[in-house]
Amino acid sequence: MRAVEPILDTNIPSRIVPSERHVSVLTEFLTNIYDSNDVASALEAVEGPRAQDTLEFIIQPCPQLLRQDFQSLFPDRSALQELLTVITLSQKTTNDMSGWSEAIEEEREDLLEHFVSGATEICESLQEAGYWADFIDPSSGRPYLGPYTNATLFETDERYRHFGFDIQDLGCCKVISHHLWGTHAYVGSLFTNAPPDHPILASLVIRQQ
């Protein structure tokens, strides 16, 4: 009996694997939150952010010496025994965050809303892919999705130095400083046990060379 060759219908769209679907949905979501040009530059650039960009994703393995500290942030996780990846999301600000004014507070509130929305979507995408993920609420310094803890990680925490930021002590207060934007930056962080090269993360990150 002669084998029958399968007939390929070119009108049937190719199947999208779950990771690709998550990336597609996430990219569309972030484009709705942030300026489309900013998202495009963040998703496509490989040599690092430029001074004119306004959005930056960086992913990296959590430094081993910080794992003990972060165990208290996520008491329901075993940070010392599993892979722990850190994602920092930086937004360039119009105002200098080292000062205070009503305009600065309004901008911070707006950026907080954007960060929480974007971080929630990233975590949900990773969870749907089978991973644990959570992010730090900048307003409280505590995990947004996990159980309550007395441990905190505010954006002026010295541990952010290990993620490529500088913490400036102004005497009356401290402020985080971005390597390109200085104190014109609003920074948030996410944590997950997904590997840094996972498609969902790799599609977001701008790798620093």
Quick check: helix, strand or coil at residue 156? coil
* Nearest-angstrom CA–CA distance, 87 and 89: 7
DSSP state of 91: E
Is residue 208 domain-resident?
A: no
Q: So what's the pLDDT on residue 20?
A: 52
Q: What total of structural domains would you count in the chain?
A: 1
Is residue 188 domain-resident?
A: yes
Is residue 13 domain-resident?
A: no
Torsion angles phi and psi, residue 34, rounded to 5 = -100, 165
Is residue 12 domain-resident?
A: no
Residue type, 50: R
- What is the DSSP secondary-structure string of 14-77? PPPPHHHHHHHHHHHHHHHHS-HHHHHHHHH--S---TT--EEEEEEEPPGGGHHHHHHHSTTS
Q: Is the full-model pTM beyond 0.85?
A: no
Distances (CA, A) of 51 to 154, 162, 180: 25, 22, 6
Range of the domain at 173: 18-202
Is residue 191 domain-resident?
A: yes
Q: So what's the pLDDT on residue 202?
A: 79
**Is-contact 118 27, C-beta < 8 A?**
no
Residue type, 146: G
Is residue 192 domain-resident?
A: yes
Is residue 4 domain-resident?
A: no
- The per-residue pLDDT string of the chain (209 residues; one tens digit each, 9 = 90 and over) reads 433 333 333 333 333 344 455 555 555 556 555 554 454 444 443 344 554 578 888 899 998 888 888 888 998 888 667 899 999 999 999 999 998 899 999 999 999 999 999 899 999 999 999 999 999 999 999 999 999 999 999 999 999 999 999 999 988 889 999 999 999 999 999 999 999 989 888 777 543 33
Is residue 194 domain-resident?
A: yes
